[in-house]
Amino acid sequence: MRLEAITWDRLGDLLAERLLELKPADGSPWPRIAFDGAPAARPGDLARRVSEALRIRGRSSLVVGTEGFLRPASVRLEYGHRDLESYYSGWYDTNALWREVFGPLEAGGDGRVLPDLWDPAADRATRSPYVQLPPGGVLLLHGPFLLRHWFPFDLSVHVRLSPGALRRRTPEAEHWTLPAFERYEQETGPAGTADVLVRADDPRHPAWSG
């Protein structure tokens, strides 16, 4: 796949422009967008950049990070702090994401989204209030492994790091997670599955698939 050099600002603007025209195939009034990538790829930064570009254009959006839907430590770490299978398949509460984020944004939903559920640092519920997303408002969900859960995304963006860049930019204490991203590449192939691919090996000089 041929990629084109671009600045982050320009990328945010072009994605926002695309989202202004996006109509969900299922009839929902709320477009749902994935910003998929390892934590080291910082997909949330791009999601927030797009959110700001949408705001300037008069469109509401809500940025939600899957780190706010981690399971309690007693569940997440049941098999140890470095259990790879748990990290890949069990750390994130996908049922809660379906219930609190995607369910309200289905056709006929009420648009009331819970932006986060669990504070992993305090290991307790966040008690955040629900956010009312108006019709036409855009959900911008960011996190790792998003494209393996059959979430009903209307557009998916994968922020990719090569294996070498991923290792360099992942803190050493988290290197134990790297095989999970190798597995994700093998099983899901996010670079080929996503609608938009962003290469971020050099954070100063991204490139994208257009």
- Per-residue model confidence as pLDDT tens digits over 144-186: 999 999 999 999 999 999 999 999 999 999 999 999 999 999 9
Query: How far is 40 from 112, CA to CA, in rounded Å?
Result: 30
Q: Where are the domains positioned within the chain? A: 4-208
Mean of the pLDDT values across residues 73-102?
95
Q: How many CB atoms lie within 10 A of CB 163?
A: 11
Q: Which CATH architecture has domain 4-208?
A: 3-Layer(aba) Sandwich (3.40)
Residue 210's pLDDT band (cuts 50, 70, 90): confident
- Per-residue model confidence as pLDDT tens digits over 12-59: 999 999 999 999 999 999 999 999 999 999 999 999 999 999 999 999
Listed in sequence order, the residues at least 6 apart from 98 whose beta carbon sits closer than 8 Å to its beta carbon are 151
Residue 18 burial (10 A CB sphere; 0-12, 13-18, 19+): middle
Listed in sequence order, the residues at least 6 apart from 176 whose beta carbon sits closer than 8 Å to its beta carbon are 82, 84
Query: How far is 178 from 99, CA to CA, in rounded Å?
Result: 29
Query: pTM for the full model?
Result: 0.96
pLDDT value of position 65? 98
